[in-house]
Chains A and B, each alone.
Chain A
């Protein structure tokens, strides 16, 4: 076990220990103990930075299930380190924030921090695993801990609904992702991502390639809330705000992004990957930003904004993948999109994290998050106001913040995409910059709404549950750190370029990077490029739209309320519920006769089908013994008596007829030379007939005969089917003797070995004595059972039935 493994496992160990800290130190907020863990891991990860900067990687292996090719391999390269630092860095800030956000007296802090630590460890495991199965294990852990955190206030209905929804959707994706991983294993015969990447050119030839691609993408899209699987994210906002900041903006929702980036070297060789990832991303970008505007809840706005920003990163990864389809300098242009994706990923984590914390502060200090009740908070909360200003302007893509830079890079990539000349992109490529531009206008509008509606205008103090005032300093530390990063990285973006973005790009596009290193250079001012004009257009149109915003929001009313994705989700759940209930209650109706019909019906249909299919029916008349006159007479009696049972009017007749059948069978045994059978049959028939008579005396009279014809016809068909099948089986099994009977042996050794002359008896008690022993047991059990049934009568008390 290396340091790397311990840093993945540390949160899990800590999660185990946290419940005990509350008992040791009652006065101290549990969060302080938790805070040490992400800080420690973050510091450790920082020590790896110089190595990663030199493009070295670190691989530590621990054997787990070697027979299945599953080993706990921890692997660090640029991409893994970037994500791990995001997770621990923001994790530390969120923990610090939560210490002041979560009330020690009112909340169950142990649960909260245990879930949070589980999540942190699982997320680190996802980004630092090289083995696909280990990655999947941690992946499901993140879904599970996210479920627990969303449902943290489990006495609220909306929390439970949101938790269930996110669980269903992300598990659906996770499961299909597992299918994709197994397909990858089938193709490459290894679970190691590095080894799979090294054989990428062969994998694309494999017939399972597209199958695994679709399944893996399904997993990534559900986790990263891409269209149309984004519906769980707005409902996940029922979680406590630190959780929303951490999971649903900075880390977990980026697990899908991570997966797409990580597996890009394998799948990006196919053109479909470029198309699907790029298009789904850009549609999500548009849909998220379009819908963010009509939200009233601040967290709702941020949820849709997260969806849209994730779509943007996703589409940039798709565009970056196009680099593999070019060579030389023209591929560099597309690699810039990958760099932009990484850059925006970092930026989004900073500004979105700070915005969520701001919303948490507003909620905490005013008691509401409804944008219609808020306004004019600027004077009450000047620090929060500043933080919110920086965060939302960065999100809108305004200079001098980091959001501006990544948005410029994004526009640049979409413009390159418009000029692409492969895969019919020359006709449809123009869609990318157009949709991106429109979406950015909406992004601008909701950022402005988020900021100005909350902090400017007239304060509506009478509508607020609490009197607003500035937050405690502890709550402000984390967002202040985040927004300082927004500014620092906005002004000096190149401090990120070499240290982390380049190694990450190298990890996403290893082949291209090895051939010709790509150097990221980000500058605030890069001349009057088309993308700058696009940004100016965004600001201009966005400003107009914001000013006239009450006038055009009517368009949201045109959107159908019945045919929304959420409605579809709810409807399909209830259909599933009702449908499966109906189906089950349809055939499991509690009527034994119906079950018997299924059993008999399936039995004879399958037997007949197999007999026909395998051509098994044979009739061999050579070994048939001649028919004797006595047997014929007995057979006629047998058949007549049993048919008469069907028409018997009284129970006595039917008992006597059954007795007739039994005695006839016993006579047949005589004719077929089975004296022991005849004896036994005779005795038992006598005993059971008397038992029948005894019991039937207490039973009711025969009910009036069944009148329904359908009932009779069904019974007749089933009965005939069974009878015919049994006859055919008997005939063909008699006609095909595959080997001779072992009875010759018994005939020879009965006297020599066992000292008896009656073969049947010797078989029963000597050769096959075990059968007889248990047959005696059966009789004993039946006797005890009957005795108990008659004797043991527990009185029913209080009319429970």
Chain B
């Protein structure tokens, strides 16, 4: 199972990187979204996808899955949500002000000659 997930994570990383390298700001944001999914899955897979009960104490469970990666991912999901929403509004505002979402035109050092 871990091997399959590793390959899936690899594919997600590939596509996310490809999207982040593109010219349109929209695709970049979609890429970052994919990237965070990939990272979350990676953390979960690293912890081991061992069989076991849900990490909630109960009488009849012999073993539980690892709770620590789940706690970490939960934190990560919330943070990436915060950042992504900020990024989205930033993109929206910059399009409003600058009139473009093309990364080729959003260059910093044109004025320096």
* Pair B7/A779 contact, Cβ less than 8 Å: no
User: A536 within 8 Å of B by Cβ?
Assistant: no
Known contacts A658-B30, A727-B6, A760-B70: does B52 contact A673 (CB below 8 Å)?
yes
Distance between Cα atoms of A494 and B50 in the complex (Å): 99
Q: A623-B48, A625-B50, A703-B102 are in contact. Are A759 and B26 (CB under 8 A)?
A: no
Chain A residues closer than 8 Å to B96, beta-carbon distance:
698
**Contact in complex: B56, A651 (CB < 8 Å):** no
Interface mask (A722-763 → B, CB under 8 Å = 1, otherwise 0): 111011001101100000011100110011000001111001
- Quick one: given A635-B4, A687-B81, A698-B92, are A782 and B15 in contact (CB under 8 Å)? no
Indicate whether A727 sits within 8 Å of B89 (C-beta atoms), given known contacts A591-B104, A675-B54, A719-B18.
no
A662 CB-CB contact with B under 8 Å:
yes
Q: When the two chains form their complex, are residues B46 and A730 in contact, meaning their CB atoms are under 8 A apart? A: yes
- State which residues 20-57 of B face A: CB under 8 Å: 20-27, 29-30, 33-34, 37-38, 40-42, 44-57
Cross-chain contact of B64 among A698, A703, A747, A789 (Cβ < 8 A): A747
Q: Does A627 contact B (CB under 8 A)?
A: yes
**Which residue on chain A has the smallest CB distance to residue B42?**
A730
Interface residues of A in 566-602 (CB under 8 A from B): 585, 588-593, 596-597, 600
Q: Within the complex, what minimum Cβ distance (angstroms) separates A723 from chain B?
A: 3
Q: Determine the residue in chain B with the shortest Cβ distance to A591.
A: B107
Q: Which residues of A contact B26 (CB under 8 A)?
A: 651, 654, 696, 699, 702
A503 to B103 Cα, complex, angstroms: 75
Residues of A within 8 A of B41 (CB): 665, 668
What's the least CB distance linking B113 to chain A, in Å? 10
Q: Is the CB of A734 within 8 A of B92?
A: no
> When the two chains form their complex, are residues B53 and A680 in contact, meaning their CB atoms are under 8 A apart?
no
- Which B residue's beta carbon lies closest to that of A783? B82
Interface 1/0 per residue, A661-702 and B, CB below 8 Å: 110010011001111110011001001100110011011101
Assuming the contacts A687-B81, A730-B45, asked whether A638 and B8 have C-beta atoms less than 8 A apart, the reply is yes
Q: Is the CB of B57 within 8 A of A654?
A: no
For B46, give the chain A residue with the smallest CB separation. A733
Q: Residue-by-residue, is A625-660 near B (CB-CB < 8 Å gives 1, otherwise 0)?
A: 111100110010011001101100001001100100
Q: Which residues of B contact A722 (CB under 8 A)?
A: 13-14, 17
B22 touches A706 (CB 8 A): yes
Interface code A508-530, partner B: CB below 8 Å = 1, 0 otherwise? Answer: 00000000000000000000000
| Residues A719 and B14 in contact, CB atoms below 8 Å apart | yes
**C-alpha spacing A672/B100, complex, angstroms:** 42
Asked if B110 contacts A590 (CB within 8 A), the reply is yes
Contact indicator A759/B45 (Cβ below 8 Å): no
Q: Are B68 and A698 in contact (CB under 8 A)?
A: no
CA distance A673 to B61 in the complex (A): 13
**Do A726 and B8 contact each other (CB < 8 Å), given the known contacts A779-B82, A782-B82, A786-B86?**
no
A775 close to B (CB within 8 Å): yes
Considering the chains assembled together, what is the distance between the CA atoms of A45 and B92 in angstroms?
A: 78
Contacts of B22 in A (CB 8 A): 593, 706, 715
Of the candidates B55, B66, B101, the one whose C-beta lies within 8 Å of that of A741 is: B66
Nearest CB on A from B66, distance (A) = 5
Q: Which of A621, A631, A674, A676 has the most CB of B within 10 A?
A: A674
Binds B, one of A377-385, A443-451, A764-772: A764-772
Does A52 make an interface contact (CB < 8 A)? no
CA gap between A741 and B57 in the complex, in Å: 18
Q: Is the CB of A645 within 8 A of B19?
A: yes
Known: A658-B34, A684-B78, A699-B91. A715 touches B8 (CB 8 A): no
Find out whether the CB atom of B21 lies under 8 angstroms from the CB atom of A597.
Answer: yes
Known A-B contacts A757-B57, A759-B57; the reply to A706 vs B95 at CB < 8 A is: no
Q: Smallest CB-CB separation from A632: which chain B residue?
A: B4
Residue A1 at the B interface, CB < 8 A? no
Whether A734 touches B88, Cβ cut-off 8 Å, given contacts A723-B13, A726-B9, A727-B10, is: no
List chain A residues, Cβ under 8 A from B23. Answer: 593, 703, 706
Q: Which residues of B contact A627 (CB under 8 A)?
A: 1, 4
- Pairwise interchain contact A775-B107, C-beta atoms closer than 8 A: no
Q: Return the contact of A731 from the options B3, B30, B50 (Cβ within 8 A).
A: B3
The chain B residue sitting closest to A644, CB to CB, is B15
Q: How far is the CA of A627 from the CA of B95 in the complex (A)?
A: 46
Question: CB of A434 within 8 A of chain B?
Answer: no
Contact A662 B1 (CB under 8 A): no
Cβ A646 vs Cβ B89 within 8 A: no
- On whether the beta carbons of B49 and A681 are closer than 8 Å, the reply is no
Q: Does A790 contact B (CB under 8 A)?
A: yes
Whether the pair A654, B27 counts as a contact (CB closer than 8 A) is yes
A423: Cβ under 8 A from any B Cβ: no
Q: Is the CB of B11 within 8 A of A723?
A: yes
Contacts of B91 in A (CB 8 A): 695, 699
- A699–B92 touching, CB < 8 Å: yes
Q: How far is the CB of A703 from chain B (nearest CB, A)?
A: 6
B109 within 8 A of A: yes
* Residues from chain B with Cβ under 8 Å of A782 in the complex: 82-83, 85-86
In the complex the two chains form, is A734's CB within 8 Å of B95's CB?
Answer: no
Q: List residues of chain B with CB within 8 A of the CB of A600.
A: 17, 21
Choose among A635, A654, A681, A757 the residue that contacts B8 (Cβ–Cβ < 8 A).
Answer: A635
CA distance A757 to B86 in the complex (A): 35
A695 x B92 contact (CB < 8 A): yes
Task: Write the nearest CB–CB distance from A535 to chain B, whole angstroms.
Answer: 63
Q: A624-B1, A681-B77, A719-B17 are in contact. Are A785 and B33 (CB under 8 A)?
A: no
Best-surrounded residue of B17, B22, B52, B91 (most CB of chain A within 10 A) = B17
Specify which chain A residues have a CB less than 8 angstroms from the CB of B3 in the assembled complex. Answer: 621, 624, 731
In the complex, what's the smallest C-beta–C-beta distance from B45 to chain A, in angstroms? 6
CB of A36 within 8 Å of the partner chain: no
With contact pairs A720-B14, A730-B45 given, residues A700 and B64 touching in the complex (Cβ less than 8 Å): no
What residues on B are CB-neighbors of A743 within 8 Å?
Answer: 66-68
CB distance from A514 to the nearest CB of B (A): 66
Cβ distance B107 to chain A, nearest Cβ, rounded Å: 4
Task: Tell whether A540 is near chain B: CB-to-CB under 8 Å.
Answer: no
Among B13, B103, B109, which residue has its beta carbon within 8 angstroms of that of A726? Answer: B13
Interface pairs (15), CB distance under 8 Å: A625-B50, A651-B26, A674-B65, A684-B81, A687-B81, A692-B29, A695-B91, A722-B17, A727-B13, A734-B46, A734-B48, A743-B67, A757-B57, A764-B71, A764-B75
User: 14 extra interchain contacts, Cβ-Cβ under 8 A, other than A672-B49, A730-B2?
Assistant: A589-B107, A592-B103, A626-B1, A642-B12, A643-B15, A645-B19, A706-B22, A714-B21, A723-B12, A723-B15, A724-B14, A760-B55, A786-B89, A789-B90
* 10 closest cross-chain pairs (CB), A and B: A723-B14, A727-B10, A782-B82, A759-B67, A719-B18, A590-B109, A730-B6, A719-B17, A590-B107, A759-B55
